[in-house]
């Protein structure tokens, strides 16, 4: 068997990837609930209307306010995909050498 150099970056662990996903998700939920609470404090006592207002406002605000956590999560997903592609290419090259 041949020796292969280790990848330039260590692969993203499952826990690191899931942690960034859960952090982003939690921030989205907190933003939504905060907007719902603000709507309630401003006098929107109807639950459905308050939920609708919070949903409509949280979508564009999350693009602006949560850009950094979203970019961090996307980078970890891209790193995992790249690591899988590199591993697959390495295994394919080993299989080609065996034939």
pLDDT tens, residue by residue, 38-52 = 999 999 999 999 999
- Indicate whether 99 pLDDT > 90: no
| Number of neighbours of residue 35 by Cβ within 10 angstroms | 19
Instruction: With respect to residue 27, please indicate whether it lies within any of the assigned structural domains.
Output: yes
Q: What is the pTM of this model?
A: 0.70
Cα–Cα distance for residue pair 94/84, rounded to 1 Å: 15
Residue pair 53/37 in contact (Cβ under 8 Å)? The answer is: no
- pLDDT given for residue 1 in this prediction: 46
Residue pair 71/25 in contact (Cβ under 8 Å)? The answer is: no
Instruction: With respect to residue 4, please indicate whether it lies within any of the assigned structural domains.
Output: no
Q: Locate tokens 């609708």: which residue?
A: 52
| Total of domains in the chain | 1
- pLDDT given for residue 58 in this prediction: 96
Full residue range of the structural domain in which residue 37 is found: 14-98
């Amino acid at each position: 068997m041949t020796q292969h150099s280790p990848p330039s970056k260590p692969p993203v662990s499952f826990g690191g990837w899931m942690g960034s996903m859960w952090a982003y998700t939690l921030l989205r939920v907190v933003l939504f609930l905060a907007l719902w609470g603000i709507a309630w404090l401003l006098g929107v006592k109807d639950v459905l209307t308050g939920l609708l207002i919070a949903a409509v406002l949280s979508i564009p605000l999350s693009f602006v306010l949560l850009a950094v956590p979203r970019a961090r999560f996307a980078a970890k997903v891209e790193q995992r995909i790249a690591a899988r592609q590199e591993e697959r290419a390495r295994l394919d090259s080993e299989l080609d050498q065996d034939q």
